[in-house]
Amino acid sequence: MSSSATILVVEDEPRLLRLFDSILRTAHYRVLTATDGAQALEMVALESPNLILLDLLLPGDIDGFAVCRRVREFSDIPIIMVTARTQEADKLRGFELGADDYITKPFSAKELLARVQAVLRRSRDTPATPARFSIGHLVIDLAAHRVTRDGQEIHLTPTEFRLLLALARQRGRVIPHDQLLREVWGPEYHNEVEYLRTYVRYLRQKLEPDPAHPRYLLTEPGVGYLLAADPAEPGAS
Ligand code: CA
């Protein structure tokens, strides 16, 4: 795996980006690059990299911390933060958001490759969750927080999106009511099944071609809900 792994480098300084690129290519990794957070999330969705090298200070609305948080909502892709020596507090915050390791600028090629190899080795057995997938006419992009149906964007509230995310992470499997309530609303809500029913109804109204006969968001009576992995074609029931 080590020589064929795909690494996404997120870095806005052209000089550093070239340096990462050349070190990693020389070691026979496939390298993708992004220069801001939005581009990074797009690349994660399109390419499912095996590792992300993530500069924390990025231009635009989505900084490195936000990229880290978004990616961790749906995926365990290893993330190595790139920090300056003066950013000790940032390092801590990065770990809290789920980063796996960090590298401090300036770094040597040897040090970079050692960290990359170590993190890839640790993650080898973790199956990847695709950041973007389609179900019937829906395209769900977990990285960009975007859902489209036949190319039309569907606007979801934050709670609706969290519910969809909880179901999408284990697509095709029934998730019990209490687990969904804990994940979406918090541990103290684990008995509030009525909340869940209400939001399932909202989601179905937005996602399902015929909300009265759901094909995507299915009920397992008395147990929970599931997001279909392979929904029946319309009219096939
Ligand atoms: Ca930067």
Question: What integer pLDDT is reported at residue 170 of this predicted model?
Answer: 84
Tell me how far apart the alpha carbons of residues 40 and 42 are, in angstroms, rounded to a whole number. 5
Q: Is residue 232 included in any domain, yes or no?
A: no
pLDDT of residue 135: 85
For 15, 64, 164, 165, 189, the CA distances from 33, given in Å and listed in that order, are 13, 14, 29, 26, 41
Residues 103 and 147 in one domain: no
Identify whether 167 is part of a domain.
yes
| Distance from the alpha carbon of residue 215 to the mean position of ligand 1, in angstroms | 44
pLDDT above 70 (res 32): yes
Residue 102 belongs to a domain: yes
Between the CA of 14 and the centroid of ligand 1 the distance, in Å, is: 10
Q: Select the more confidently predicted residue: 192 or 232.
A: 192
CA of 76 to the centre of ligand 1 (A): 23
236 has pLDDT over 90: no
Q: How confident is the model at residue 234 (pLDDT cuts 50, 70, 90)?
A: low
DSSP, residue by residue, 114-146: HHHHHHHHHHTTPPPPPSEEEETTEEEETTTTE
For residues 105 and 31, membership in a common domain is answered with yes
Tokens of 11: 């870095």
Write out the H or E segment, with its range, that includes residue 30.
strand 30-34
Over residues 106-148, the pLDDT tens digits come to 899 999 999 999 899 888 765 566 788 888 888 999 888 899 9
Domain that holds residue 150: 132-227
Query: Does residue 157 share a domain with residue 212?
Result: yes
Query: How far does the centroid of ligand 1 lie from the alpha carbon of residue 12, in Å?
Result: 5
Domains identified in the chain, total number = 2
- Is residue 237 situated within a structural domain? no
Residue 40 has pLDDT above 50, yes or no: yes
Same domain, 30 and 116: yes
Rounded to 10°, the helix 64-74/158-168 angle is 50
**Å from CA of 58 to ligand 1 middle:** 5
Q: What residues does 152 pair with on adjacent strands?
A: 149
Distance 95 CA to ligand 1 centre (A): 18
Alpha carbon of 17 to ligand 1 centroid (Å): 10
DSSP H or E stretch at residue 53: strand 51-55
Q: How far is the CA of 113 from the centre of ligand 1 (A)?
A: 20
Residue 185 pLDDT exceeds 80? yes
Distance 129 CA to ligand 1 centre (A): 28
